[in-house]
Amino acid sequence: MESTLQGQLKSWRQYLHQRPETGFEEIHTADYVAKILETLGLDVHRGIGGTGLVANLTAGDGKRAIGVRADMDALNIAEQAPGRAHASLNAGKMHACGHDGHMSMVLGAARLLAERRDFNGTVRFIFQPAEEHGRGAKAMMADGLFERFPVDAIFGAHNMPGMPAGTFATRAVGIMASEDNFVIHIKGRGTHAARPHMGADPIVIASQIVLALQTIVSRNLDPSLQAVISCTEFITDGIRNVIPSNVIIKGDTRSYSEAVQALLETRMREISVGICRTYGAECSFEYTHEFAPTVNSEQFVDLAVNAARNVAGDAAVDPNVQPMMISEDFGAFLQAVPGNFIFIGNGDVPERGGIPLHNASYDFNDDILMTGARYFAEVARLALQVGINKS
């Protein structure tokens, strides 16, 4: 039966890969997923938080419920995969983060559990829109996700290029960081490039700000804590022989606690405003919170690790992986209900899953589809067999 399921998972995954849709536009994707779940006999509810959906499967007389989540959205990236038979058919969009694979693994878990019904309680399969925006989890919760479909715990996973295919890694507490975005607008005074003394050069000012921001982590943050400040865009309204009047710096920060987020925001504002004032320029500073940190609940780490070991063996599971500074919208769910997030190795060689996420040549490794489906089914079984400690 598993060899037949592997073929089905690959077919689902490659179909979804060819038809990528970005955040809150996953209309065809959600319809395709919902029809599969309905065929499996699940109770499907659509239109939650926009294009999100929940499918319920109950067995036995257990009163507990757990959630299993998959993300659905793609990215605005033009796929560069000459010769790939299942390449994107939607120009300028592709599944460059493997959400096509995540959906297929969770669909596979739904099929395994629907056929075997070897659990006691309810499994809610949650298909979330707009993960890449950091908006989909909040949209579903604002639409009453956990009031309408309460769960005692929630579980998620993400493929990870660079990890050997089919291996697992998780950890207690923080596993992925928050993401905050910033925009710094420096308004100087433009002038002819040959007469810089007549202006207030915002490029020089902005350059000093970029360098000074890097001192926050090294000189203001406790070395035992983690944070990253990255300036990623530098935009001017100048031309080759004109010193501009305006420079905009954009970027993001990553950290693991509200206290560190507050420190970063305060010091970044003080440095930006202070340097602009020194050089006679104006400054506006915006700082927004995009992704919550993904903080695993300690009581569910052992359960997730045991499920992974049952699927892949002891040697294939790292129960205390180093935290990463990437961000995941799943963190918003974990602020509302307890649960666990785990990484599944996508492969460590380029031709078999090792191309980085968000790369135009990335592809999900079909070899791990069955591993992921079995993991999600097993974590549901364990959670609903052994009971859930709510303390």
pLDDT tens for each residue of 251-303 = 999 999 999 999 999 999 999 999 999 999 999 999 999 999 999 999 999 99
CA 27/CA 31 separation, integer angstroms: 6
pLDDT digits (tens, 9 = 90+) for 305-315: 999 999 999 99
Domain coordinates of the chain in residue numbers?
2-176+293-386, 178-291
The CATH number fitting domain 178-291, selected from 2.70.160.11, 3.30.70.360, 3.40.1350.10, 3.20.20.70: 3.30.70.360
pTM over 0.85: yes
CA 391/CA 384 separation, integer angstroms: 16
CA 368/CA 12 separation, integer angstroms: 14
Q: Which of 25, 26, 73, 318 is catalytic?
A: 73
Residue 282 assigned to a binding site: no
Contacts of 207 (CB under 8 A, 6+ apart): none
Strands (E), the chain: 43-48, 52-59, 65-71, 121-128, 153-161, 168-169, 173-176, 178-187, 191-192, 227-236, 242-243, 246-255, 282-291, 294-296, 317-318, 339-347
Could you confirm whether 131 is annotated as catalytic? yes
Nearest Cα neighbor of 288 from 138, 130, 179, 141 is: 179
Could you confirm whether 233 is annotated as catalytic? no
In words, the CATH class of domain 2-176+293-386 is alpha beta
Name the average pLDDT for the chain.
96
Res 220 pLDDT > 70: yes
> Percentage of the chain with pLDDT > 70?
98
Q: Which of 21, 71, 79, 131 is catalytic?
A: 131
Residue 158 assigned to a binding site: yes
Contact 307, 213 (CB under 8 A): no
